[in-house]
Amino acid sequence: MRYLSDFRDAAACAALAERIRRLAHGAGEMQFMEFCGGHTHAIARHGLRSLLPENVRLVSGPGCPVCVSSQGDVDRAVALAGRDGVTVVTFGDMMQVPGSEGSLQEARALGADVRVVYSPADALRLAVDCPGRQVVFLGVGFETTAPAVAATVLQAQRQGITNYSVLSLHKLTPPAMRAVLDAGEVRLDGVIGPGHVSTVIGAGAWRFLPEEHGLGCAVAGFEPADLLLAVAELVRMVVEGRPEVANCYRRSVSDGGNSRALAVMEQAFQVVDADWRGLGVVPASGLHFRPELADLDAGARLALPKLESREPAGCRCGEVLRGVLEPSQCPLFGSACTPESPVGPCMVSTEGACSAHYLLREAG
Amino acid sequence: MCLAVPVLLKQKRDDSGTIDLGGVEREVSLLLTPEAQEGDYVIVHAGFAISVLDREEAEATLSLFRELADSQGQ
Ligand code: SF4
């Protein structure tokens, strides 16, 4: 498929890398944050850092939904999995994330009914097929996943399915980006905007970056040439001193986003404060069900108690997620903590910064 | 969670469709992209198509790359 291969084309990548080098030459140090975990993974996988000049650095931000789920969120999921008559359904990445009392995978080994799916639609189908069980989907994800989950919930309501519910741990990305900037711990010169989140919310959602923070934003796709084009745009904005939002992923992203997906999300969810690993409670950054959908809210329906949560000892995920610490600077990186036996969530998901850096280390 | 690559929509039935993933067929929901037609490329996230690839925009970006490669080759 040429829409894939052409965006991986070596000549295009070389030309873009050369353009970045020329633009950045003599322009001082620049540091850009790739917000999205998919980008973090792609940058490591294609070795893109090695194509950049020394004065252009990329740091990873809090853009992996599995990694930013708080320890309390993981613990609630594990507690639910232990209930009689409950089937917990989740994306594969959540299985290995260590909670205070073990992971979902360990809960399953001890007899809990935990299933892995690719789509919330599969979870709803499972509920229809198992009428005797309460099927709870773990709603983990950003604006890309939330509309899909919202669609299944509205469908369950329409069809009168009473044994399906969702534990909504969904999070919104622009408030998290604001929280990182407001914390002021990491000096940034621009942001690589998430490609698929922006497909839903629109490139225009990032306009607060130039307007309020004086930072350029380049929305990027996931192929090497896409990412290099975005970096070239960010370097150009720094050199010209004109921050703006550049949409470098026009084949999927419009300025206003996917209005249908936004409407479905709006119909099911209301915006609430949410607890992020590494960032703490970020105002107006989470999604809970609207009161009229309370029956489909697993948290309300299954009355989860408040749990005491402990972060894994020695894990520095919080700092990694805020872009303050490089994964390799964590004392556990690559020794006590590896993808085979992860200590923290950033080593679990392939979109996690620690896992991406580990991959690169193995390749190099 | 995310396939991240555009995939061909082979068949469409109401609000769902069949995509071709390197020879393996899989069902996707088109609830969020009702405008998708058979033969389109869609971007799929968590089993739902979240956008229909805009071929004109894809071509425009590719020709930008070609121009860049040509201008630097000189
Ligand atoms: S290397 Fe492991 S322990 Fe250290 S921050 Fe990353 S995930 Fe946490």
Q: For residue A12, is pLDDT > 70?
A: yes
Q: Which of A27, B27, A42 is nearest to B7 (CA)?
A: B27
Sequence-separated (6 or more) residues with CB below 8 Å from residue A74: A94, A97, A98, A99, A100, A103, A309, A345
The closest alpha carbon to A234, from A220, A222, A223, A221, belongs to: A220
- Tokens representing residue A238 in the block: 């720094």
Give dist(CA A312, CA A348) in Å, integer: 13
Chain B residues with beta carbon closer than 8 angstroms to that of A118: 46-47
pLDDT of residue A307: 74
The answer to whether the CB atoms of B31 and A264 lie below 8 A apart is: yes
Least confident range from A75-89, A187-201, A292-306: namely A292-306
Token pair recorded at residue A303? 């009355």
| Closest CB from B1, B29, B57 relative to A121 | B29
Q: Looking at the predicted structure, is the pLDDT value of residue A313 above 90?
A: no
**What pLDDT score was predicted for residue A43?**
94
CB contact under 8 A, A4 and B29: no
Confidence of residue A265 (pLDDT cuts 50, 70, 90): very high
ipTM for the complex? 0.92
**pLDDT of res. A312:** 85
Quick one: pLDDT at residue B73? 58
Band (pLDDT 50/70/90 cuts) for residue A364 is: low
Helix (H, G, I), strand (E, B) or coil at A123: helix
Which residue of A7, A41, A196 to mutate against B (max B Cβ within 10 Å)?
Answer: A196
Q: What is the pLDDT of residues A63-83, one digit of tens each?
A: 899 999 988 889 999 999 989
B residues 34-53 closer than 8 Å to A (CB): 34, 41, 43, 45-48, 50-51, 53
Burial of A183 by CB count in 10 Å (0-12 exposed, 13-18 middle, 19+ buried)?
Answer: middle
Percent of the residues in chain A that have a pLDDT greater than 70, as a whole number: 99
Measured from the Cα of A348, ligand 1's closest atom is 7
Range of lowest pLDDT (A39-43, A180-184, A309-313): A309-313
- When mean pLDDT is compared across A5-9, A220-224, B34-38, the lowest value belongs to A5-9
Strand (E) or helix (H) holding A180: helix A173-183
Helical (H) or strand (E) element with A355:
helix A353-363
Mean pLDDT, rounded, for A259-267:
97
> Residue A252 has which token pair?
């999927």
Nearest to A142 by CA among A182, A116, A177: A177
Return the minimum-mean-pLDDT range out of A38-47, A186-195, A198-207, A246-255.
Answer: A38-47
Q: What is the pLDDT of residue A306?
A: 72
A303 vs A195: which has the higher pLDDT: A195
| The pLDDT of residue B4 | 67
Determine the average pLDDT of the residues in A131-139: 95
Nearest to A280 by CA among A313, A309, A314: A309
- Residue A337 Cβ inside 6 Å of ligand 1? The answer reads yes
Instruction: Check pLDDT > 60 for residue A204.
Output: yes
pLDDT tens per residue, range B6-55: 889 999 998 999 998 878 889 999 999 999 999 999 999 999 999 999 99
pLDDT confidence of residue A179: 94
Which tens digit of pLDDT belongs to each residue from A315-352?
999 999 999 999 999 999 999 999 999 999 999 988 89
The per-residue pLDDT for A3 is 74
Q: Give the best residue of A119, A169, A267 to mutate against chain B (max B CB count within 10 A).
A: A119
For A7, name the nearest residue in chain B, comparing CA atoms only. B62
B74 pLDDT more than 60:
no
Q: What is the pLDDT of residues A160-186, one digit of tens each?
A: 999 999 999 999 999 999 999 999 999
Q: Do B60 and A250 touch (CB under 8 A)?
A: yes
Half-sphere exposure of B38 (CA within 13 A, CB side): 6
Residue A217 Cα to ligand 1 middle (Å): 28
Contact check, Cβ <8 Å, B46/A11: no
B18 touches chain A (CB under 8 A): no
Is A225's CB within 8 Å of B60's CB?
no
Backbone angles phi, psi at A286, to 5 degrees: -130, 170
Q: Which of chain A's residues have a Cβ under 8 Å away from the Cβ of B57?
A: 250-251
Among A67, A252, A255, A262, most B C-beta atoms within 10 A, so best to mutate, is A252
Which chain B residues touch A199 with a CB distance below 8 Å? 43, 50-51
| Mean pLDDT of chain A, nearest integer | 93
Looking at the complex, report in whole angstroms how far the Cα of residue B73 sits from the nearest Cα belonging to chain A.
8
Note the pLDDT of residue B3: 56
b (16+ CB within 10 A) / e for A184-197: eebebbbbbbbbbb
